[in-house]
A = this chain, B = another copy of it.
Amino acid sequence: MISFEEAQKIINNNIILLDTENAVLKTSLDRVLAQDVVSDINMPPFDKSAMDGYAIRSKDLFNELEIIETIKAGDIPQKKIGTNQCSKIMTGALVPEGSDCVIKVEQTKNISETKIIFNGKETQPNISYKAEDIKLGEIVLKKGTVVRPQELAILATVGCTNPIVYKLPRIAIMSTGDEIVEPGISPATGKIRNSNAYQLIGQVQKCGVEPKYLGIIEDTEEATFDKISDALKRYDVLLLTGGISMGDFDFVPKVMTKAGVQLYVQTVAMKPGKPTVFGRKDNTFVFCLPGNPVSSFVVFELFAKPFIKAMSGHTTDDKFLKLPLKETFNYKISDRLSWVPVKIDDNNEVIPVTFHGSAHIYALCYAQGFMRVEKGTVQIKQGEMVHVRQI
Protein backbone atom coordinates (compact mmCIF):
# COMPACT_ATOMS: atom_id res chain seq x y z
CA MET A 1 0.00 0.00 0.00
CA ILE A 2 1.40 3.40 -0.99
CA SER A 3 0.46 6.90 0.14
CA PHE A 4 -1.84 9.26 -1.73
CA GLU A 5 1.13 11.47 -2.58
CA GLU A 6 3.18 8.53 -3.88
CA ALA A 7 0.27 7.35 -6.03
CA GLN A 8 -0.26 10.87 -7.32
CA LYS A 9 3.42 11.16 -8.21
CA ILE A 10 3.50 7.81 -10.05
CA ILE A 11 0.37 8.65 -12.00
CA ASN A 12 1.60 12.16 -12.88
CA ASN A 13 4.95 10.78 -14.03
CA ASN A 14 3.12 8.69 -16.61
CA ILE A 15 1.28 11.57 -18.24
CA ILE A 16 1.95 11.82 -21.96
CA LEU A 17 0.81 14.68 -24.16
CA LEU A 18 -1.30 13.44 -27.05
CA ASP A 19 -0.60 14.34 -30.68
CA THR A 20 -1.95 17.49 -32.23
CA GLU A 21 -4.71 18.02 -34.75
CA ASN A 22 -6.40 20.84 -36.62
CA ALA A 23 -9.59 21.94 -34.93
CA VAL A 24 -12.42 23.91 -36.49
CA LEU A 25 -12.94 27.33 -34.91
CA LYS A 26 -16.55 26.68 -33.85
CA THR A 27 -15.65 23.43 -32.09
CA SER A 28 -12.40 24.45 -30.45
CA LEU A 29 -13.89 25.74 -27.21
CA ASP A 30 -12.06 24.31 -24.17
CA ARG A 31 -9.32 22.80 -26.35
CA VAL A 32 -5.66 23.61 -25.69
CA LEU A 33 -3.51 25.31 -28.34
CA ALA A 34 -0.53 23.19 -29.37
CA GLN A 35 1.21 26.03 -31.23
CA ASP A 36 1.66 29.75 -30.79
CA VAL A 37 -0.88 31.66 -32.87
CA VAL A 38 0.57 34.49 -34.95
CA SER A 39 -1.43 37.39 -36.37
CA ASP A 40 -1.64 37.76 -40.14
CA ILE A 41 -2.86 41.36 -39.82
CA ASN A 42 -2.43 44.57 -37.92
CA MET A 43 -5.28 45.36 -35.55
CA PRO A 44 -6.76 47.80 -36.19
CA PRO A 45 -5.68 47.26 -39.78
CA PHE A 46 -5.97 51.03 -40.37
CA ASP A 47 -6.46 54.25 -38.42
CA LYS A 48 -10.01 53.77 -37.31
CA SER A 49 -12.59 56.17 -35.97
CA ALA A 50 -13.53 55.37 -32.37
CA MET A 51 -16.66 57.54 -32.55
CA ASP A 52 -19.55 58.56 -34.73
CA GLY A 53 -18.61 62.12 -35.73
CA TYR A 54 -16.54 64.14 -38.18
CA ALA A 55 -12.99 63.54 -39.35
CA ILE A 56 -11.13 66.87 -39.40
CA ARG A 57 -7.68 68.46 -39.27
CA SER A 58 -7.18 69.35 -35.60
CA LYS A 59 -5.78 72.74 -36.49
CA ASP A 60 -9.24 73.61 -37.94
CA LEU A 61 -11.06 72.56 -34.74
CA PHE A 62 -12.82 75.85 -34.10
CA ASN A 63 -13.50 76.79 -37.72
CA GLU A 64 -16.66 76.29 -39.75
CA LEU A 65 -16.19 72.99 -41.58
CA GLU A 66 -17.56 71.86 -44.92
CA ILE A 67 -18.78 68.24 -45.10
CA ILE A 68 -17.23 66.68 -48.22
CA GLU A 69 -18.11 62.99 -47.79
CA THR A 70 -19.82 60.39 -45.54
CA ILE A 71 -17.68 57.40 -44.57
CA LYS A 72 -19.39 54.32 -43.17
CA ALA A 73 -17.59 51.42 -41.50
CA GLY A 74 -16.24 49.26 -44.31
CA ASP A 75 -16.05 52.13 -46.83
CA ILE A 76 -12.87 53.38 -48.46
CA PRO A 77 -12.74 57.19 -48.17
CA GLN A 78 -12.70 58.85 -51.59
CA LYS A 79 -11.63 62.31 -50.52
CA LYS A 80 -8.72 63.86 -48.66
CA ILE A 81 -9.51 66.34 -45.89
CA GLY A 82 -8.23 69.80 -46.75
CA THR A 83 -8.32 73.09 -44.88
CA ASN A 84 -11.70 73.66 -43.18
CA GLN A 85 -13.10 70.45 -44.56
CA CYS A 86 -14.48 67.40 -42.79
CA SER A 87 -16.04 64.04 -43.58
CA LYS A 88 -18.90 62.57 -41.63
CA ILE A 89 -17.56 59.29 -40.22
CA MET A 90 -18.98 56.26 -38.38
CA THR A 91 -17.40 54.27 -35.61
CA GLY A 92 -15.06 51.67 -37.05
CA ALA A 93 -14.61 53.46 -40.34
CA LEU A 94 -11.25 54.29 -41.90
CA VAL A 95 -10.06 57.82 -41.04
CA PRO A 96 -9.51 59.69 -44.32
CA GLU A 97 -6.20 61.09 -45.47
CA GLY A 98 -5.45 64.57 -44.17
CA SER A 99 -7.43 64.07 -40.96
CA ASP A 100 -5.74 63.63 -37.56
CA CYS A 101 -8.81 63.91 -35.35
CA VAL A 102 -12.44 62.81 -35.12
CA ILE A 103 -14.84 65.10 -33.28
CA LYS A 104 -17.90 63.52 -31.68
CA VAL A 105 -21.24 64.20 -33.29
CA GLU A 106 -22.53 65.29 -29.87
CA GLN A 107 -19.95 68.10 -29.82
CA THR A 108 -21.02 69.61 -33.14
CA LYS A 109 -23.76 71.81 -34.46
CA ASN A 110 -25.09 71.94 -38.02
CA ILE A 111 -24.90 75.44 -39.36
CA SER A 112 -26.21 74.51 -42.81
CA GLU A 113 -26.96 71.42 -44.86
CA THR A 114 -23.26 71.02 -45.62
CA LYS A 115 -21.53 72.84 -42.79
CA ILE A 116 -20.91 72.10 -39.12
CA ILE A 117 -19.05 73.71 -36.28
CA PHE A 118 -17.46 72.24 -33.13
CA ASN A 119 -19.19 73.46 -29.99
CA GLY A 120 -17.18 71.62 -27.35
CA LYS A 121 -14.23 72.92 -25.35
CA GLU A 122 -11.64 70.33 -26.29
CA THR A 123 -11.43 66.94 -27.94
CA GLN A 124 -9.44 63.74 -27.94
CA PRO A 125 -8.17 62.47 -31.32
CA ASN A 126 -10.77 59.64 -31.04
CA ILE A 127 -8.75 57.49 -33.41
CA SER A 128 -7.73 53.87 -32.81
CA TYR A 129 -4.39 53.83 -34.54
CA LYS A 130 -3.32 51.12 -36.95
CA ALA A 131 -1.66 48.15 -35.18
CA GLU A 132 -2.12 49.56 -31.69
CA ASP A 133 -3.79 46.32 -30.51
CA ILE A 134 -1.99 43.68 -32.56
CA LYS A 135 0.98 43.89 -34.92
CA LEU A 136 1.30 41.75 -38.04
CA GLY A 137 3.46 38.72 -37.15
CA GLU A 138 2.95 39.12 -33.41
CA ILE A 139 2.15 36.09 -31.25
CA VAL A 140 -1.41 36.68 -30.06
CA LEU A 141 -2.00 33.41 -28.20
CA LYS A 142 0.67 31.18 -26.78
CA LYS A 143 0.94 27.41 -27.03
CA GLY A 144 -0.78 25.92 -24.01
CA THR A 145 -3.61 28.47 -23.94
CA VAL A 146 -7.06 27.05 -23.19
CA VAL A 147 -9.58 28.36 -25.74
CA ARG A 148 -12.42 30.20 -24.03
CA PRO A 149 -15.00 32.42 -25.79
CA GLN A 150 -12.65 35.40 -25.57
CA GLU A 151 -9.84 33.40 -27.23
CA LEU A 152 -12.26 32.36 -29.98
CA ALA A 153 -12.64 36.08 -30.69
CA ILE A 154 -8.87 36.47 -31.01
CA LEU A 155 -8.50 33.40 -33.23
CA ALA A 156 -11.25 34.79 -35.47
CA THR A 157 -9.63 38.23 -35.54
CA VAL A 158 -6.30 36.89 -36.81
CA GLY A 159 -7.90 34.46 -39.25
CA CYS A 160 -6.86 31.30 -37.41
CA THR A 161 -9.85 29.21 -38.51
CA ASN A 162 -8.14 25.86 -37.89
CA PRO A 163 -6.15 26.22 -34.68
CA ILE A 164 -3.72 23.40 -33.94
CA VAL A 165 -4.75 21.81 -30.67
CA TYR A 166 -3.90 18.69 -28.68
CA LYS A 167 -6.09 15.69 -29.43
CA LEU A 168 -8.58 14.54 -26.83
CA PRO A 169 -7.95 11.10 -25.33
CA ARG A 170 -10.09 8.21 -26.52
CA ILE A 171 -11.61 6.92 -23.30
CA ALA A 172 -13.44 3.64 -22.73
CA ILE A 173 -15.51 2.75 -19.69
CA MET A 174 -16.17 -0.88 -18.71
CA SER A 175 -18.11 -2.23 -15.78
CA THR A 176 -17.46 -5.47 -13.97
CA GLY A 177 -19.56 -7.47 -11.57
CA ASP A 178 -22.14 -10.17 -12.17
CA GLU A 179 -24.48 -8.52 -9.68
CA ILE A 180 -25.03 -5.45 -11.83
CA VAL A 181 -27.57 -4.93 -14.56
CA GLU A 182 -28.09 -1.98 -16.88
CA PRO A 183 -30.45 0.80 -15.67
CA GLY A 184 -33.16 -0.14 -18.17
CA ILE A 185 -33.56 -3.54 -16.52
CA SER A 186 -35.49 -4.29 -13.36
CA PRO A 187 -32.92 -6.02 -11.14
CA ALA A 188 -33.66 -9.62 -10.10
CA THR A 189 -33.05 -10.72 -6.53
CA GLY A 190 -29.44 -10.19 -5.54
CA LYS A 191 -28.79 -7.74 -8.38
CA ILE A 192 -28.53 -3.96 -8.50
CA ARG A 193 -28.41 -1.48 -11.31
CA ASN A 194 -25.15 -0.17 -12.73
CA SER A 195 -24.87 3.38 -11.45
CA ASN A 196 -21.09 3.81 -11.44
CA ALA A 197 -20.67 3.66 -15.19
CA TYR A 198 -23.17 6.47 -15.73
CA GLN A 199 -21.59 8.60 -13.04
CA LEU A 200 -18.24 8.02 -14.76
CA ILE A 201 -19.65 8.90 -18.16
CA GLY A 202 -20.74 12.21 -16.68
CA GLN A 203 -17.37 12.78 -15.01
CA VAL A 204 -15.54 12.14 -18.29
CA GLN A 205 -17.97 14.40 -20.18
CA LYS A 206 -17.16 17.12 -17.65
CA CYS A 207 -13.52 16.76 -18.77
CA GLY A 208 -14.66 17.69 -22.29
CA VAL A 209 -14.39 14.15 -23.65
CA GLU A 210 -17.21 11.89 -24.88
CA PRO A 211 -16.31 8.43 -23.57
CA LYS A 212 -17.22 5.11 -25.15
CA TYR A 213 -19.17 2.90 -22.78
CA LEU A 214 -18.36 -0.75 -23.45
CA GLY A 215 -20.94 -2.25 -21.12
CA ILE A 216 -20.76 -4.80 -18.34
CA ILE A 217 -18.06 -7.44 -18.76
CA GLU A 218 -19.05 -10.98 -17.94
CA ASP A 219 -17.40 -11.91 -14.64
CA THR A 220 -14.94 -14.48 -15.97
CA GLU A 221 -11.22 -14.23 -16.50
CA GLU A 222 -11.55 -15.08 -20.16
CA ALA A 223 -14.22 -12.49 -20.96
CA THR A 224 -12.35 -9.86 -18.98
CA PHE A 225 -9.07 -10.70 -20.73
CA ASP A 226 -10.66 -10.49 -24.17
CA LYS A 227 -12.41 -7.19 -23.51
CA ILE A 228 -9.38 -5.57 -21.91
CA SER A 229 -6.96 -6.83 -24.58
CA ASP A 230 -9.17 -5.45 -27.30
CA ALA A 231 -9.74 -2.10 -25.60
CA LEU A 232 -6.01 -1.67 -24.96
CA LYS A 233 -5.51 -1.47 -28.71
CA ARG A 234 -8.22 1.08 -29.36
CA TYR A 235 -8.20 3.60 -26.53
CA ASP A 236 -5.85 5.91 -24.70
CA VAL A 237 -7.47 5.43 -21.31
CA LEU A 238 -9.53 2.54 -19.93
CA LEU A 239 -11.69 3.11 -16.89
CA LEU A 240 -12.88 -0.03 -15.14
CA THR A 241 -15.51 0.15 -12.49
CA GLY A 242 -17.08 -2.50 -10.29
CA GLY A 243 -20.69 -2.84 -9.33
CA ILE A 244 -20.33 -2.29 -5.67
CA SER A 245 -17.63 -4.47 -4.24
CA MET A 246 -13.90 -4.79 -4.24
CA GLY A 247 -14.25 -8.50 -4.74
CA ASP A 248 -15.16 -7.95 -8.35
CA PHE A 249 -11.69 -6.82 -9.15
CA ASP A 250 -10.00 -9.76 -7.55
CA PHE A 251 -8.85 -11.20 -10.85
CA VAL A 252 -8.71 -7.99 -12.83
CA PRO A 253 -5.11 -7.15 -11.88
CA LYS A 254 -4.08 -10.70 -12.80
CA VAL A 255 -5.85 -10.44 -16.15
CA MET A 256 -4.30 -7.07 -16.83
CA THR A 257 -0.80 -8.37 -16.19
CA LYS A 258 -1.56 -11.21 -18.61
CA ALA A 259 -2.71 -8.64 -21.18
CA GLY A 260 0.64 -6.89 -20.86
CA VAL A 261 -0.38 -4.05 -18.57
CA GLN A 262 2.29 -3.03 -16.11
CA LEU A 263 0.66 -2.21 -12.78
CA TYR A 264 2.16 0.83 -11.07
CA VAL A 265 -0.43 1.35 -8.34
CA GLN A 266 -2.49 -1.39 -6.69
CA THR A 267 -3.69 -0.05 -3.37
CA VAL A 268 -3.56 3.45 -1.94
CA ALA A 269 -3.62 4.38 1.75
CA MET A 270 -6.69 6.53 1.48
CA LYS A 271 -10.33 6.28 2.44
CA PRO A 272 -12.27 5.94 0.27
CA GLY A 273 -10.12 4.71 -2.58
CA LYS A 274 -7.95 1.95 -1.15
CA PRO A 275 -8.53 -0.47 -4.04
CA THR A 276 -7.27 1.91 -6.75
CA VAL A 277 -5.36 0.33 -9.63
CA PHE A 278 -3.30 2.23 -12.18
CA GLY A 279 -1.38 0.57 -14.99
CA ARG A 280 0.06 1.13 -18.42
CA LYS A 281 0.62 -0.79 -21.63
CA ASP A 282 2.57 1.23 -24.21
CA ASN A 283 0.64 4.49 -24.44
CA THR A 284 -2.64 3.19 -23.04
CA PHE A 285 -3.43 3.74 -19.38
CA VAL A 286 -5.79 1.83 -17.15
CA PHE A 287 -7.54 3.00 -14.01
CA CYS A 288 -9.56 0.48 -11.97
CA LEU A 289 -11.89 2.41 -9.73
CA PRO A 290 -13.39 1.04 -6.52
CA GLY A 291 -16.95 -0.26 -6.71
CA ASN A 292 -18.64 2.02 -4.22
CA PRO A 293 -20.07 5.06 -6.04
CA VAL A 294 -18.54 7.59 -3.64
CA SER A 295 -15.15 5.87 -3.80
CA SER A 296 -15.29 5.71 -7.56
CA PHE A 297 -16.22 9.39 -7.73
CA VAL A 298 -13.37 10.47 -5.44
CA VAL A 299 -10.71 8.36 -7.15
CA PHE A 300 -11.74 9.64 -10.55
CA GLU A 301 -11.61 13.25 -9.36
CA LEU A 302 -8.28 12.95 -7.60
CA PHE A 303 -6.35 10.70 -10.00
CA ALA A 304 -8.05 10.14 -13.36
CA LYS A 305 -9.42 13.63 -14.06
CA PRO A 306 -6.09 15.51 -13.76
CA PHE A 307 -4.47 12.75 -15.85
CA ILE A 308 -7.07 12.95 -18.61
CA LYS A 309 -6.97 16.74 -18.67
CA ALA A 310 -3.17 16.78 -18.84
CA MET A 311 -3.15 14.39 -21.83
CA SER A 312 -4.89 17.05 -23.92
CA GLY A 313 -2.62 19.84 -22.73
CA HIS A 314 -4.42 21.26 -19.71
CA THR A 315 -2.01 22.34 -17.01
CA THR A 316 -4.36 23.72 -14.39
CA ASP A 317 -3.76 21.96 -11.15
CA ASP A 318 -6.90 21.14 -9.26
CA LYS A 319 -6.86 23.75 -6.60
CA PHE A 320 -7.34 22.87 -2.97
CA LEU A 321 -9.14 25.62 -1.13
CA LYS A 322 -8.07 26.42 2.41
CA LEU A 323 -11.22 27.20 4.36
CA PRO A 324 -12.33 27.24 7.99
CA LEU A 325 -14.42 24.45 9.50
CA LYS A 326 -17.83 25.68 10.65
CA GLU A 327 -18.23 23.33 13.59
CA THR A 328 -15.96 20.92 15.46
CA PHE A 329 -15.76 17.65 13.54
CA ASN A 330 -15.27 14.32 15.31
CA TYR A 331 -13.94 11.44 13.29
CA LYS A 332 -13.42 7.74 13.77
CA ILE A 333 -9.65 7.34 13.76
CA SER A 334 -8.21 5.76 10.59
CA ASP A 335 -4.72 4.68 9.60
CA ARG A 336 -5.41 6.10 6.13
CA LEU A 337 -5.80 9.60 4.75
CA SER A 338 -9.54 10.29 4.42
CA TRP A 339 -11.63 12.36 2.02
CA VAL A 340 -14.88 13.50 3.59
CA PRO A 341 -17.70 15.02 1.47
CA VAL A 342 -18.41 18.59 2.57
CA LYS A 343 -20.63 21.54 1.81
CA ILE A 344 -19.29 25.09 1.63
CA ASP A 345 -21.72 27.68 2.94
CA ASP A 346 -22.16 31.31 1.89
CA ASN A 347 -19.57 32.42 4.42
CA ASN A 348 -17.06 30.00 2.88
CA GLU A 349 -17.21 27.77 5.96
CA VAL A 350 -16.89 24.02 5.57
CA ILE A 351 -19.61 21.64 6.77
CA PRO A 352 -19.11 17.85 6.50
CA VAL A 353 -22.07 16.11 4.85
CA THR A 354 -23.58 13.66 7.28
CA PHE A 355 -24.59 10.28 5.99
CA HIS A 356 -25.12 6.98 7.69
CA GLY A 357 -24.59 3.40 6.60
CA SER A 358 -24.01 3.11 2.91
CA ALA A 359 -26.39 5.89 1.97
CA HIS A 360 -23.51 7.33 0.06
CA ILE A 361 -25.56 7.89 -2.99
CA TYR A 362 -26.96 11.13 -1.61
CA ALA A 363 -23.77 12.28 0.06
CA LEU A 364 -22.36 13.34 -3.29
CA CYS A 365 -25.49 15.22 -4.23
CA TYR A 366 -25.18 17.54 -1.29
CA ALA A 367 -21.40 17.87 -1.40
CA GLN A 368 -19.49 20.71 -3.00
CA GLY A 369 -16.12 19.20 -2.23
CA PHE A 370 -14.02 16.71 -0.30
CA MET A 371 -12.16 17.67 2.85
CA ARG A 372 -8.74 16.15 3.44
CA VAL A 373 -8.54 14.46 6.86
CA GLU A 374 -5.04 13.26 7.80
CA LYS A 375 -4.61 9.73 9.14
CA GLY A 376 -4.91 9.46 12.89
CA THR A 377 -7.27 12.45 13.14
CA VAL A 378 -10.00 12.15 15.76
CA GLN A 379 -11.10 15.75 15.84
CA ILE A 380 -10.80 18.96 13.85
CA LYS A 381 -11.82 22.02 15.83
CA GLN A 382 -14.28 24.69 14.78
CA GLY A 383 -12.50 27.42 12.85
CA GLU A 384 -9.47 25.30 11.97
CA MET A 385 -8.40 25.65 8.35
CA VAL A 386 -8.98 22.55 6.25
CA HIS A 387 -8.04 21.63 2.68
CA VAL A 388 -10.99 21.15 0.38
CA ARG A 389 -10.93 19.90 -3.18
CA GLN A 390 -13.98 21.36 -4.92
CA ILE A 391 -16.10 19.10 -7.11
**Chain A residues within CB distance 8 Å of chain B:** 25-26, 29, 40-41, 43-46, 48, 50, 52, 72-76, 90-94, 128-129, 132-134, 141, 147-161, 177-180, 183-187, 189-203, 205-206, 213, 219, 243-248, 291, 293, 297, 356-362, 364-365
Contact = CB atoms under 8 A, between A and B. Distances in A.
Contacts of A93: 179, 190, 245
Given A92-B245, A133-B361, A156-B183, 17 more contacts: A29-B201, A44-B358, A52-B247, A74-B243, A91-B245, A93-B245, A128-B358, A133-B358, A141-B365, A149-B201, A150-B293, A150-B364, A152-B199, A152-B201, A154-B361, A154-B365, A158-B193
B245 A90 contact: yes
B157 A361 contact: yes
A74 to B, nearest CB: 3
Contacts of A160: 183
A371 to B, nearest CB: 17
Q: What's the dominant secondary structure at chain A's contact region?
A: loop
A246 B44 CA distance: 17
A149 B195 contact: no
B150 A291 contact: no
Given A199-B153, A200-B149, A178 B94 contact: no
Could you say which of A149, A155, A361 has the most chain B C-beta atoms within 10 Å of its C-beta? A149
A189 to B, nearest CB: 6
Nearest to A341: B150
Nearest to A244: B92
A178 B133 contact: no
Contacts of A200: 149
A179 to B, nearest CB: 3
